[in-house]
Amino acid sequence: MEQQKKGLFGRRTSPVMWILILLSSIMLSLPFLLPGTGWVSLVAFIPLLAAEHIATRERMRLFWVKYYLCFLLWNIFTTFWIYKATLYGAMAAVILNALQMAVIFAMFRWFKRLTKGYLPYLFFIIAWLAWEHAYFNWDVSWPWLVLGNAFATSVKSVQWYEYTGALGGSLWILLINTLLFRVLLLAANGEKFKKSAISVALLYIVPVVISLAIYHSYKVVPYEPSNGSGYREFTVLQPNIDPYNRKFSQSQYQQDKVLLNLMQECDSNSIVVAPETFVSPRLSAAALVENNPHGNSSFNRFGAFAKERSLSLIIGAVTDTFYNAQARPTPTARHLDGERWYDRCNSAVFFDSNGKHGFYHKSKLVVLVESTPYKRLFKFVSKFNIDLGGAMGDFAPQSEREIFVTTDSVKIGTAICYESVYGDFYREYVLNGADVMSIITNDGWWGDTPGYRQHLSYASLRAIETRRAIARSANTGISAFIDQKGDIIASTEWWKEDAISADLPLNDKITFFVRHGDIIGRVSEFLYFLFALMVIVRWISRKYITK
């Protein structure tokens, strides 16, 4: 009898531990796999915290293997589709991402040995949020599983992201999980827990009620530029060109014809959006050179069509810029010979109805695809490079978010692929004047897996944070229109050549999040360093002063 009183699960806890670990990994994964299940994330950490409580109570050795496995399974279940491009890249992504999560949990466990009560759980929340915020800006950045992204298909519940950004959702998830676990501990120990339970209930209900109130009361009040109305017609094109086979078996001219055929039905004055890296000649002689763009036949073809039909066109292209210099002119410049250098960019090319053009270069580059992290220290990582349809190498970024302006003064921001995952980065388009957004992407390289659906859903969060409607063109993913509340109002089917149109409202109002950025992340980083300092002081005092 005495042995049974030792804990909630008795003495034989090994099978229970594995069940708890597996349960947490599944619950953490569900919101990223099944639409409308964001609420599951609010209790997903509880089995893991229960397992940690048991391991601490029984002084279990090698518990780190179990909680690392929990995070590893979460990464595998939700991002396994990376293997479609490269098995080595997939292994690196899931192993290293899970390792970082496990390090945070290890710090939490260490902190528990030095403090009591809720303080260790508060440290866990702050450390996790600080890591998510910092992760957005590291050379090796893969913030796909930011906790706040769990609500990407449950947008009615998180309309307040326009104030907090996605890290507001991460904070909400971590708070409810840890507080609810504390309530369960109080109940298990026969202590009073009614007030704590009421607090947790309010912490869940109040944000949801506020969000629903915002959602149902939000009114689109279109901003009217000086030369036009508050709505503009957009057309998104989905040429459905296989990035692995057809992209290389067909000539660029044949692929251009596919896109031009889709554009035939576009109305005059429409703003047309075409996919990422659509123009990507494989021979250097046919490259789209920004110093001399008219030397490229595709550039001339699309520019002439836009002018003839009075269209504005945004299209993805791989572009080169050449330099004459003795020394490397930019950090990403590639050497040709003698004093000749060039930069390669993953670009958005803009044509207006008068024949003018502009370029924007993708600046959040995919690790091991468009950039090699810490090149001097880790040259070996180049072996893991992922080929996403022909766009590979160290690409040159752009310091400012370029805004394209049509002849009737519509200001369009264009996020290229991976840039739509970074909320604090994405808001810079709006700060620079965008009153409507476009996203161009490929999404075909990961096949018919959850990857392209997750990528699409994250755009809904960007729409809420900025309150900007989105025209999204994907080569072989899902092309769609998303309104200012994050709802997908029209979309194409997967793996289908198509073109769809919609009238999107323009907006010149700035949300709190756009104006102030990721306050939660910045504050968490500051508090993390304070907590770390406190931990060091306590550890020193216990080790030396108390002797």
Instruction: Write out pLDDT tens, residues 331-360.
Output: 889 999 999 999 999 999 999 999 899 999
Residue 360 φ/ψ, nearest 5 degrees: -130, 140
Predicted confidence band of residue 8 (pLDDT cuts 50, 70, 90):
very low
Any domain includes 534:
yes
CA 12 vs. chain centroid, Å, equals 42
Token pair recorded at residue 232: 């503009």
Cα-based torsion angle of the residue sequence 253, 255, 261, 263 in order, rounded to the nearest 10 degrees: -100
Residue 221 has pLDDT above 70, yes or no: yes
Is the domain of 108 the same as that of 119? yes
Is the domain of 492 the same as that of 539? no
Is the domain of 246 the same as that of 197? no
Any domain includes 344:
no
- Asked which of 313-317, 450-454, 538-542 is least confident by mean pLDDT, the reply is 538-542
Token pair recorded at residue 319: 């572009």
pLDDT of 2 reads 38
Instruction: Write out pLDDT tens, residues 364-403.
Output: 998 877 877 766 555 555 445 444 434 445 899 999 999 9
Is the domain of 511 the same as that of 522? no
Q: Tell me the sheet residues that pair with 504.
A: 232
pLDDT of 285 reads 62
C-alpha dihedral sign at 72, 415, 314, 362: negative
Residue 481 φ/ψ, nearest 5 degrees: -115, 135
DSSP helix, strand, coil percent of the chain (3-state; round to 5): 50, 15, 35
CA distance 29 to 281: 39
Residue 110 has pLDDT above 50, yes or no: yes
Residue 476 has pLDDT above 80, yes or no: yes
Token pair recorded at residue 89: 């890249």
Structural domains of the chain, count: 2
pLDDT of 390 reads 40
If you average pLDDT over residues 391-417, what whole number do you get? 90
User: Which has the higher per-residue pLDDT, 368 or 89?
Assistant: 89
Is the domain of 140 the same as that of 58? yes
Is the domain of 302 the same as that of 422? yes
pLDDT of 354 reads 92
CA distance 8 to 194: 20
User: Which has the higher per-residue pLDDT, 139 or 105?
Assistant: 105
Any domain includes 323:
no
Number of H helices, E strands in the chain: 15, 14
Any domain includes 292:
yes
Q: The tokens 């021979």 sit on which residue?
A: 283
Residue 301's contacts (CB-CB under 8 Å, 6 or more residues apart) are 256, 260
Is the domain of 121 the same as that of 192? yes
Residue 170 has pLDDT above 80, yes or no: yes
Tell me how many degrees the CA angle 444-388-392 measures, rounded to the nearest 5. 155
Residue 60 φ/ψ, nearest 5 degrees: -70, 130
Residue 524 has pLDDT above 90, yes or no: yes
pLDDT of 284 reads 66
Predicted confidence band of residue 445 (pLDDT cuts 50, 70, 90):
confident
- Asked which of 171-180, 286-295, 450-459 is least confident by mean pLDDT, the reply is 286-295
Q: Which percentage of the chain shows pLDDT scores above 70?
A: 92
Any domain includes 375:
no
Instruction: Write out pLDDT tens, residues 23-47.
Output: 999 999 999 999 999 999 999 999 9
Predicted confidence band of residue 300 (pLDDT cuts 50, 70, 90):
very high
Half-sphere exposure of 77 (CA within 13 A, CB side): 20
Q: In this structure, are residues 222 and 507 in contact, taking their beta carbons and an 8 Å threshold?
A: yes
pLDDT of 364 reads 94
Any domain includes 392:
no
Any domain includes 322:
no
pLDDT of 353 reads 92
CA distance 214 to 156: 9
Token pair recorded at residue 153: 């298909």
Is the domain of 406 the same as that of 302? yes
Rounded to a whole number, what is the distance in angstroms from the first to the last CA of the chain?
38
Q: In this structure, are residues 284 and 246 in contact, taking their beta carbons and an 8 Å threshold?
A: no
Any domain includes 222:
no
Is the domain of 485 the same as that of 536? no
CATH number for the domain spanning 268: value is: 3.60.110.10
Is the domain of 481 the same as that of 536? no
Residue 76 has pLDDT above 90, yes or no: yes
Range of the domain at 404: 232-316+349-363+398-515
- Annotate 148-159 with b (16+ C-beta within 10 A) or e (fewer): bbbbbbbbbbbb
- Asked which of 35-39, 286-290, 459-463, 477-481 is least confident by mean pLDDT, the reply is 286-290
Q: In this structure, are residues 120 and 111 in contact, taking their beta carbons and an 8 Å threshold?
A: yes
Instruction: Write out pLDDT tens, residues 136-147.
Output: 988 888 999 999
Predicted confidence band of residue 286 (pLDDT cuts 50, 70, 90):
confident
Is the domain of 539 the same as that of 491? no
- Annotate 104-140 with b (16+ C-beta within 10 A) or e (fewer): bbebbbebbebeeeeebbbbbbbbbbbbbbebbeeeb
Q: In this structure, are residues 272 and 406 in contact, taking their beta carbons and an 8 Å threshold?
A: no
CA distance 216 to 204: 19
Predicted confidence band of residue 5 (pLDDT cuts 50, 70, 90):
very low
Q: In this structure, are residues 294 and 355 in contact, taking their beta carbons and an 8 Å threshold?
A: no
CA distance 295 to 244: 27
Is the domain of 165 the same as that of 141? yes
Residue 290's contacts (CB-CB under 8 Å, 6 or more residues apart) are 319, 320, 321, 345, 347, 359
